[in-house]
Amino acid sequence: MRAIFIHGAGRAGPQAWPAQAGPPWLPQGALPMAREDLAFVERIVPGDDPEVTVPAYAALLGNDPGHVVAHSYGAIAALLLAERHGAATLTLIEPAALSLSATAPATCAHIEVMAAVYELASDVQVSDAEFFRRFSEALGSPAPPLPDEELSGLGAHLRALRPPWSVEVDPAVSTRVPTLVVTGAGEEMYGDVARVLTAHGAQHVEIRGTGHRPQDDERLSALLLQHWSGHSGS
């Protein structure tokens, strides 16, 4: 059985999962899988279009539904993958499946702020670097002091993203597939998504103090092992 790790809108591949892709954390014999069965997927296309990524992830898993772990924007593709192709388990970390909670106050406030940024995506007067700066500022975290060419690459990717609230996903997937939702107890909008999914059978765990990247905390790895072990026969 394989496990795939789907990145968010930022880092991709093993760099998005340093605690899981780095020094071995999977105890020998703990699960019916080896280190080579863990796949940390690289970015497939700028914008992470689910219509492109989901079939690619399904091909990576093959006939075995496997375990699916996803962070932030990647949770959208993970939910669609589980809906269309099945999964042994889902683990959604700070899931940005905002279509599920678009009417909740915190999510609604976030959408209002970010929608103004996404409106600039088609504005040729706004450079990719400037788009990245505005995107970062809207999230409350100023852009890092990088050269414009690096910011341009990041901006080109972000402006190609479909707004996360515009991609419809089915929360009932959590009724059929054992689902663990992990949040860092920071941005309330991710808690909004978690509450919708728990209403459909998901388990929600907060790892306080981890911000938007609970996967960098060793407690996340322990949760993964527990979640997978409990459903290794699914």
152 and 200 fall within a common domain: no
114 and 58 fall within a common domain: no
14 and 42 fall within a common domain: yes
63 and 179 fall within a common domain: yes
pLDDT (tens, 9 = 90+) of the chain, 234 residues, equals: 889 999 999 899 999 999 998 866 666 555 556 778 899 999 999 899 999 999 999 999 988 889 999 999 999 999 999 999 999 999 999 999 999 999 999 999 999 999 999 999 999 999 999 999 999 999 888 888 888 888 899 999 999 999 999 999 999 999 999 999 999 978 899 999 999 999 999 999 999 999 999 999 989 988 998 999 887 654
> Which CATH number fits the domain that encloses residue 47?
3.40.50.1820
Q: pTM above the 0.95 mark?
A: no
The domain tally of the chain equals 2
Asked if residue 37 lies in contact with residue 73, where contact means CB atoms within 8 angstroms, the answer is no
61 and 18 fall within a common domain: yes
93 and 196 fall within a common domain: yes
8 and 89 fall within a common domain: yes
92 and 17 fall within a common domain: yes
For 177, other C-beta atoms within 10 Å of its C-beta total: 23
128 and 22 fall within a common domain: no
Range of the domain at 223: 3-99+166-230
82 and 35 fall within a common domain: yes
Rounded CA separation 134/132 (Å): 5
88 and 141 fall within a common domain: no
9 and 89 fall within a common domain: yes
